[in-house]
Amino acid sequence: MDKNKKEILKLILTLNFLLGMFNLYLFSQSFLLFNLLVGSANIGVWVFFRDMKLIPILARYNKRNNH
């Protein structure tokens, strides 16, 4: 993975985290279950992909299953 793609991925993950926090804030104000689910999913994506160790593993798994 080249440096440009890593930087873009980091920005996407940061945006995911911020949107997740905002959705959890909205849930605390309005108690809509949708905001809780979306916020939790966004923060979950950030948690699992923030250290970038899972991405090469998933890429290898994807290449192996496509052939």
Model pLDDT, residue 67: 67
Model pLDDT, residue 63: 84
The vertex-34 CA angle with 32 and 39, nearest 5°, equals: 105
Model pLDDT, residue 66: 81
- Please give the single-letter amino acid code of residue 41: A
Decide if 24 contacts 42 (C-beta within 8 A): no
pTM equals 0.79
Q: How far is CA 14 from the centre of its chain?
A: 8
Model pLDDT, residue 59: 82
pLDDT means per 10 residues, the chain with 67 residues, are 86 96 98 97 93 82 81
Decide if 39 contacts 24 (C-beta within 8 A): yes
Kindly report the backbone phi and psi dihedral angles of residue 37, in degrees, each rounded to the nearest multiple of 5, phi listed first: -65, -45
